[in-house]
Amino acid sequence: GDSVTQMEGPVTLSEEAFLTINCTYTATGYPSLFWYVQYPGEGLQLLLKATKADDKGSNKGFEATYRKETTSFHLEKGSVQVSDSAVYFCALHDSGGYQKVTFGTGTKLQVIP
Amino acid sequence: DAGITQSPRYKITETGRQVTLMCHQTWSHSYMFWYRQDLGHGLRLIYYSAAADITDKGEVPDGYVVSRSKTENFPLTLESATRSQTSVYFCASSENRNTEAFFGQGTRLTVV
């Protein structure tokens, strides 16, 4: 079945540091890939997405590129802020008859001033 | 208000009791999902639905029942609650397989 593997957290960075959160996936067919963010006490919300190979999703300074050859969708940001502290989830939406969304275990990011 | 709402936000129940978590969305999205979030496991899919009257099991369906008689509602019932079902439950909906899922704010359920 489909699976998503994320790097273990928590990740602690100083403000303005470079961020990478690794995500790799296993899926049949051609899934769409997503990054969701969860702020404390809230539900998940979409951060960015890519629906086909070589697409780059971007939002709020975050980027991720859909790499089919390495089955990866790593999240990057050039300069993190304290307000980026949250839990980040990589997810894939399968391309089968019924949509199913498979999530990674989440990576907690803490940015310190 | 437009969106996806869950109720209740917090619930404490006793072992063996039946409890129903409600989920309502206003967009007429075809797909709806129930997840549970536990430390170390991320989000695990319990059940999903592709349309009214069409539901299917996810990764961890045991002990749960769902129904979807109307497109906008997708209640989740724990038939006989157990302590292992203590968790935060999220409902989500999406329009189709390539669009984002919209999440409710979650229901924190404690089984004592």
Vertex A57: Cα angle to A51 and A62 (nearest 5):
150
B43-74 burial, b if ≥16 CB within 10 A, otherwise e? bbbbbbbbebeebeebebbeebebbbeebbeb
Beta strands B10-13 and B107-111: pairing type?
parallel
pLDDT of residue A25: 95
Return the sign of the alpha-carbon dihedral for residues A95, B21, A103, B62.
negative
- Mark yes or no for CB contact A105/B41 under 8 Å: yes
Give contacts of B105 with chain A, Cβ < 8 Å: 42-43
Residue of B nearest to A46 (CA): B100
- Region A91-97: mean pLDDT is 75
Task: Encode pLDDT of B43-81 as tens digits.
Answer: 898 999 989 999 999 889 999 999 999 999 999 999 999
pLDDT confidence of residue B65:
97
Which of A45, A94, A95 is opposite residue B103, by nearest beta carbon? A45
3-state SS, residue A42: coil
Q: What would the pLDDT profile of A56-70 be if each residue is shown by its tens digit?
A: 999 999 999 999 999
Neighbours of A105 (CB within 10 A): 20
Contact B104, B6 (CB under 8 A): yes
Q: Does B43 touch chain A (CB under 8 A)?
A: yes
CB pairs under 8 A between A and B: 60
Q: Kindly list the distances between the CA atom of residue A112 and the CA atoms of A15, A36, A83, in Å, as whole numbers in the listed order.
A: 6, 21, 10
Q: Quick check: A97 pLDDT over 60? A: no
**Chain B nearest-CA residue for A103:** B43
Lowest mean pLDDT among A8-22, A63-77, A91-105: A91-105
CB-CB contact of B6 with B106 (8 Å)? yes
Q: What percent of chain A has pLDDT over 90?
A: 72
Distance from CA of B79 to the nearest CA of A (A): 24
Q: Do A99 and B48 touch (CB under 8 A)?
A: yes
pLDDT class for A21, splitting at 50, 70, 90?
Answer: very high
**Contact status of A93 with chain B (Cβ, < 8 Å):** yes
